[in-house]
Structure 1
Amino acid sequence: MQRLIRGRINKLGICVILLLSLLIGRLVQVQLISTESFTKDHINLIEASVKQRTQSLIIDEGRGRFIDRNGLPLTHDYFPSVILFPFLNGLDWPKDELAGIVGMTTNEIDRLLADAKKPVVLSESLTEEKLEKVNELDYPGVVALYRQFKLKDNIAEHVIGMTGEDVETFLERYPDKVEKENYSPHTPIGVSGLEQAFDEIILPEGATKLLYHVDRFGGPLFGIDVRYMSPSNPYYPLSVKTTLDKDIQQVAEKVLDDYKVKKGGLVILDIATNEVVAMVSKPSLDSQSPLKGPGAHNLMLEPHFPGSVFKTVVTAAAIEENIVDKDMTYNCDLDIRGNLLKDEEKRMGTLNLEKSFAQSCNYTFGEIGKQLVAKDKEVLDKYADILGLTGTVGWRGNMFGFEDFIQIPAEKDNVIWTDANEKGVPLAIAQTSIGQKDVKVTPLAMANMMATIARGGKSKEVKLVSDILYKNGTSLYSFPEHDREVDKLSPYTVMQLQHLLREVVAADTGTGWRMRDLPYEVAGKSGTAQTGKLVEGDRELLNRWFAGYFPIQSPKYAMVMVELDVLDENNVSSVYVEMVQQLYKLENPER
């Protein structure tokens, strides 16, 4: 019996020892090994412990910010602020002096602190001089500094993009940062737009916080002052300097809202630098579900049927290949199949190339297209490539630490043909030549084509970001201009294209007649494309375009406006006219 009892005691002792060993092991893991990355959720136990006994306020999230070409903030900015910690309520502190400095009454300050559960921020009408006076009070719980604030209005939301918490994606993108640098996988990351493209560059090294230790009742632990906790690197966070002009971007967004554009948008390029000055896509992002729904995509980076704007490519090819002259005429009473147009109002009579371009005669360009492809099956691809309507046109290349970096990763490829066999089908060639069939191009690429023509034929990649700046404003990296490695049109062809684009607006029967009499003279091309989408029985939705540049004497802006999936009525001309007028006002405020 004693042996049996002794055996049971031994077994129980072993179990107790094993249990104690497990508890000790767990304690070692919690206290020593996994203090900054506990469990599969990578919980930082030190931070969690600190949170239990401190009150804190984040001054700067630590993520890099985006600014416009003039240094104006697009996402967040820094404002002078006075921080009051909740435990001040009921204490005897220099409230009267603070009220005098910030221009408030003591009763107002008392009301703010009365039910405060977290630090109170005062930021109205504060100056640097006032901040200094507040800090001279030198009282625990009263701090004056510059605090980061997110801008109230979302500017260029599709361009800048969104951030969000995505543990799975974070671990996939940055496994080394979690394992070696103790990053929390709950750190917000870029999920769209420039936020996604530049995510690794502007990822926060850590937030800047004000910390104040409290007892278990929330009262202050005197003798321990407010701590300012920030990452050790004084050059971070970085700023991404975009090529956007904030004023122009805001005007463009307002104009599209005023004209109630439901689907479409516009792109404006600086012709000299080939940089995006403004880009607006409609519909807007859904704040509740930004990555889903009709507003989730930037439609200015997605390809759409261009219609007659594509005739610019056919015209360039025809002039360059010397298959047309000013005396050649075409029967514009016919459609691209050679049949008489049923609608008499659409019959234009016999026109030469210049008038066919101005009035957008489909028959002319269907015939020219067939003649070109009979000579060379790749000819439309060749000139579309020269003018930037194949592949993508956004800036890409090597920069520090990144090979083949793409500034605009959401940009989709432009398409001319989806089936090379159709290059031998006359009707398919004619349809392609008027920007239908399988032709789809992005508004960004179309704006780039107009900028290329306005520049005299020099083709460049489009930039959306010009510089990456240190926190103090000095340059870390500047993105150089990149010429596109394509053949160049002859000066004569470019000159003729410029003339024809101007005639679209200037000629009495030109399709761009509404662009006349503007403060900037406009050259451009309109386009109406069938989409194949039917509504209300047999009514077809259309894509409406106007792509051009201005002023023609000294081209500064290339602009494309497109409205997608509309019926006969559209806002394209009205929006284009309004934007030219608004740009003129911004450039000439005294007039």
Structure 2
Amino acid sequence: MQLERRLKRRHFLVLLGMTLIWIGLIARLWWIQLGAPHRFTKRGIDLVKNSVKQRQQSIVLHSGRGDIRDHNGYAFTGEEHRALILFPLARGSLEGTDGLTKVAQVVSQPTERLTDIMEKAKAPLFLRDENGRLVALSESQAEQINALSIPGIVALAMTERYRQEEVAKHVIGFINQNPALVESLYPDEWKTGKMNADSMIGASGLERSFDRFLQGVEPSILSYYVDGQGKPLRGLDIRYSKQNNEYYPLSLTTTLDVSIQRRMERIADEVGLTKGSMVVLDAQTGDIRAIVSRPKYDQTKVDGKTDDWKNRAVKQLPPGSIFKTVVAAAALAEGIVSPTERFTCTGDYGKYHFSCWKKDGHGSVTMEEAYAQSCNIAFAQIANRVGGEKLEEYARRLGLSELAGHVTSHLFKLDGFKQVDGEERGAIFAKSVSRKDEGVLIQTAIGQRDVRMTPLQAANMVVAILRGGQPTQVRLVKEISYRNGQAFHQFPLQTLPVQGIDYVTASKLRKMMRKVVTDGTGQAVSGASWEAAGKTGTAQTGDDSQSLNHLWFIGYAPYDQPQYAICVVAENQPSWGRNQATELFRRVVDELADQTVQSSRPHAGNSPE
């Protein structure tokens, strides 16, 4: 009896265990199929999408994101074209037919090329030429192709977000898949499954800083389905999922001018700028008209092992002698030095191994002449009189301790919203360094040691001088708009939250910058189409083994009626040979002068070149 009870008890426990296992399996299956099929596991895997991937292929015809435009309405993020779409899953249906031959005749392509593309393709694609450019179809061509009713081949309108030949790529940025970032930025959407591991998100530039506004609606997707034998499913072979919304996605109207941007990028490539940046600001408003960053990168194939995609114009660098502008501003504003006071330069300071770039010295020079000739010894003496605390104060007054980009205190639950992605602050002294140390001070006076500045800050400092001494916040985006064109939010012009310099000091600095071009280190710019003013700068990189320098040129043009503030930086340049920054600056001024003439002609319009 006792043995029988034990056996029954063991049998009951076995049945109970099996029942619990089955309940657990059923619960698990329920959770997989109904509870979280679109966001399974912590990585947000969409099981529904993955379950049909072997018998379905999809291609995005429109990302669903809002456009990013220049200030005249030109879209940097794509233009709608009719395109030929090929689905590799249709290969089996095309065997033994003349379908590809008929399509090839319509699009004026060799049949062999289309056959080769279909055989090698692993994912659906748009037909492109040998150079990778989209083959745009006419309305008639699209109608002819669709009339053929060939499985897996269709012609439809599509919008390619990133064009290969487009400009301003570092400013626009790119999108990619980043589940961890999606979960941290959009926790509510992640929990509900509205966003998952497949969601595309802004990774850099305006795509990132304005991602919440550009997200908009679901993408428009074209899908092709086959059965288990690879044959098209009747009534379900091709499905088009398109979103129609009067208000979304939102779009951005930037302050950029695509025509100027194209000219600046062409100059950078013609002069041979391999690493560096160029910034062009509106002299009156401080709005960004163009930003160029090099090296180049491909928005559709971003290499995470390099930082080529980073915008060099907002990364801090030692500025070299353009920082003498800050020293001069402090000395003049505080009444410590007059423009005509004389200093003696023998070529050597006498201690700290500090010397002038001109070995024999500049002799007796006024402050104006010292600035024009970029004399290190004279400015070391001036900095000693001014003192470290005042240098730091006037750097702050000229906007070099603040982010130059536009910041909105509160924008739809976003506090301290920054327009410019990845922007770094400037720096004058390291925290632990004494502002009274003479050795530190004289190195600081020539923009070396701990001094750091971004090209955007440098250009904005020029705007402050042109505006009578008050630095602005630099706008990159003017407005966010609904899809129907109505304004969603407008960004006003704003000044930086600092006390600027006085008008008289700003006026003196403008005259000194002009003297740099007429009688000083910037004379190579004197032959430009517009009379210009500026300041040269050479900053050692710290790599003594290669003797490389960062070459700067900041300034403005025309001199009498300034329209643009400009900063160019050529990084890691040899200490010998031509000055790439000076050459770039002169070319920039020439192009801006020509652009102004072109745009003022009747019916010239603002279309890109």
Aligned equivalent of 1:585 = 594
CA drift at 1:557? 1.5
- 1:562 and 2:569 correspond: yes
| Stretch deviating more after TM superposition (262-271 or 232-241) | 232-241
Q: Which residue matches 2:332?
A: 319
- The runs of at least 4 consecutive aligned structure 1 residues that moved more than 6 Å come to 1-5, 90-100, 105-110, 132-142, 286-289, 338-344
Q: Which moved more, 1:396-405 or 1:207-216?
A: 207-216
Q: Assess, with a 3 A threshold, how the Cα gap between structure 1 residues 411 and 54 changes in structure 2: closer, same or farther.
A: closer
Change (3 A) 1:118 1:383: closer
C-alpha distance in 1, partners of 2:230/2:122? 10
Matched, 1:348 2:362: yes
CA distance in 2, matches of 1:120, 1:442: 41
Structure 2 CA distance for partners of 1:262 and 1:46, relative to 1, 3 Å: closer
Which is further off, 454-463 or 511-520? 454-463
Assess, with a 3 A threshold, how the Cα gap between structure 1 residues 434 and 29 changes in structure 2: closer, same or farther.
closer
Residue correspondence of structure 1 range 34-45 to structure 2 within 5 A: 34-45=36-47
Q: Does 1:518 align with 2:520?
A: no
Alignment RMSD: 3.7
Counterpart amino acid of residue 197 in structure 2? P
2:169 equivalent to 1:157: yes
2:549 is matched with: 542
Instruction: Summarize the Cα distance change of 1:427–1:183 in structure 2 as closer, same or farther, 3 Å threshold.
Output: closer
1:405 is paired with a residue whose SS is: strand
* Residue 442 of structure 1: aligned partner: 454
- Which residue of structure 1 lines up, in the alignment, with residue 582 of structure 2? 573
Shift in Å, 1:344: 7.5
> Where does residue 157 of structure 2 map in the other structure?
146
CA distance change for structure 1 residues 547 and 117 in 2, over 3 Å: closer, same or farther? closer
CA distance in 2, matches of 1:117, 1:358: 62
Letter in 1 for 2:42: K
Change in CA separation of 1:138 and 1:357 when aligned onto 2, cut-off 3 Å: same
Secondary structure at the aligned position of 1:257 is classed as helix
Number of the residue aligned with 1:416: 428
Percent identity, aligned pairs only, is 34
Q: Deviations over 1:24-77 (max 9, x none)?
A: 323322332222222333332333345455453321232344333333333433
Map of 2:606 onto structure 1: none
How far off is 1:439 after superposition? 1.7
Contact 1:113 1:120 in 2 (8 A): no
The question of 1:183 aligning with 2:190 is answered no
Change (3 A) 1:23 1:242: same
Going from structure 1 to structure 2, the CA distance change for 1:38 and 1:432 (only over 3 Å counts) comes to closer
Do the aligned partners of 1:286 and 1:293 also contact (CA within 8 Å) in 2? no
CA contact (8 A) 1:447 1:559 kept: yes
**Contact 1:336 1:431 survives alignment (8 Å):** no
User: Partners in 1 of 2:536 and 2:338 — Cα distance?
Assistant: 23
Specify the alignment match of 1:61 in structure 2.
63
Deviation at 1:577, TM superposition (A): 1.8
Kept in 1: contact 2:356–2:375 (CA 8 A): no
Aligned-residue offset at 1:225: 7.3
Q: Give distance in 2, aligned partners of 1:113 and 1:559.
A: 47
1:418, distance to aligned residue in structure 2 (A):
1.7
**After superposition, what is the alpha-carbon deviation per residue over 1:478-501, rounded to whole angstroms, capped at 9, x for unaligned?**
222111122233332222111111
- State the Cα deviation string for residues 409-460 of structure 1 (Å, max 9, x = none): 4121211122576322334333322323322211111111112222333321
Between 1:218-227 and 1:472-481, the stretch displaced more is 218-227
Superposition deviation, residue 394 in structure 1: 1.1
Aligned pairs for 1:522-533 within 5 A: 522-533=532-543
Instruction: Kindly state the Cα deviation for residue 308 of structure 1 after the two structures are TM-superposed.
Output: 1.7
Corresponding residue SS for 2:434:
helix
Q: Distance in 2 between matches of 1:95 and 1:343?
A: 69
Q: Does 1:259 align with 2:268?
A: no
- Which whole-Å CA distance do the structure 1 matches of 2:340 and 2:122 have between them? 83
1:136-155 CA distance string (max 9 Å, x none): 89999775532122312363
1:215 CA drift (Å): 2.6
Structure 1 residues 524-570: Cα deviation after superposition (integer angstroms, max 9, x where no partner): 0111233442115xxx4333211101111221211111223333224
Q: How does 1:90-489 map to 2 (within 5 A)?
A: 104=108, 121=126, 124-128=135-139, 144-149=155-160, 150-153=162-165, 155-203=167-215, 205-224=217-236, 226-231=238-243, 233-285=245-297, 290-293=303-306, 295=308, 297-333=310-346, 335-337=348-350, 346-373=360-387, 378-397=389-408, 398-419=410-431, 422-489=434-501
Asked if the contact 1:468–1:477 (Cα under 8 Å) also holds between the matched residues in 2, the reply is yes
Post-superposition Cα deviations, 1:158-200, rounded to whole Å, max 9, x if no partner, equal: 3333433222232222221111243112323233333322223
Match of 1:32 among 31, 34, 54: 34
Task: Give structure 2 stretches of 5+ with no counterpart.
Answer: 128-133, 602-609
Distance 1:350 1:549 in 2: 29
3-state DSSP class of the match of 1:394?
coil
CA distance in 2, matches of 1:343, 1:429: 18
Question: Offset at 1:204?
Answer: 5.8
CA distance in 1, matches of 2:17, 2:325: 85
| Contact kept in structure 1, 2:151 and 2:232, CA below 8 Å | no
| 8 Å CA contact 1:75, 1:155 repeated in 2 | no
Aligned twin of 1:20: 22
Per-residue CA distance 1:98-140 (angstroms, 9 max, x = gap): 899x565997899589758766746745345765787789999
Question: Measured at CA, do residues 337 and 277 of structure 1 come closer, stay the same or move farther in structure 2, by a change above 3 Å?
Answer: farther
- AA matched with 1:251: R
Q: 1:44 to 1:482 in 2, by over 3 A?
A: same
108-117 or 230-239, which moves further after superposition? 108-117
SS in 1 for 2:221: strand
What amino acid maps onto 2:333 in structure 1? Answer: E
Code of the residue aligned with 2:303 in structure 1: it is P
SS of 1:496 mapped into structure 2: helix
1:333–1:340 Cα contact (<8 Å) kept: no
In the alignment, the residues of structure 1 paired with residue 354 and residue 5 of structure 2 have an alpha-carbon distance, to the nearest angstrom, of: 114
Total equivalences in the alignment? 582
| AA in 1 matched with 2:394 | Y
1:572 positional shift: 1.5
Query: Residue 61 of structure 1 contacts residue 206 of structure 1 at CA under 8 Å; is this kept in 2?
Result: yes
The TM-score with structure 1 as length reference comes to 0.86
Change in Cα spacing, 1:98 to 1:306, as seen in structure 2 (3 Å) is closer
Secondary structure in 1 matching 2:137: coil
| TM score, norm. by length of structure 2 | 0.83
Q: Distance in 1 between matches of 2:159 and 2:231?
A: 27
> How many Å separate the matches in 2 of 1:365 and 1:172?
49
Residue among 27, 48, 51 paired with 1:46:
48
CA contact (8 A) 1:337 1:427 kept: no
Deviation by residue 1:216-237 (Cα, 9 ceiling, x = unmatched)? 2232333457432134644333
Aligned amino acid, residue 76 of structure 1 = G
Mapped contact 2:477–2:491 kept (Cα < 8 A): yes
Call closer, same or farther: CA 1:544–1:434 in 2, change over 3 Å. same
Give the distance between the partners of 1:107 and 1:350, measured in 2 at CA. 78
Instruction: Evaluate the alpha carbon distance shift between residue 360 and residue 198 of structure 1 in structure 2; reply closer, same or farther with a 3 A threshold.
Output: same
Between 1:409-418 and 1:249-258, the stretch displaced more is 249-258
Superposed displacement of residue 589, structure 1:
4.1
Cα distance change on mapping 1:284 and 1:225 into 2, 3 Å: closer
The match for 1:76 is: 78
Query: Structure 1 stretch 125-134 or stretch 527-536: which is displaced more?
Result: 125-134
Q: 1:497 aligns with which of 473, 491, 509?
A: 509
Write the letter of the residue equivalent to 2:564. Y
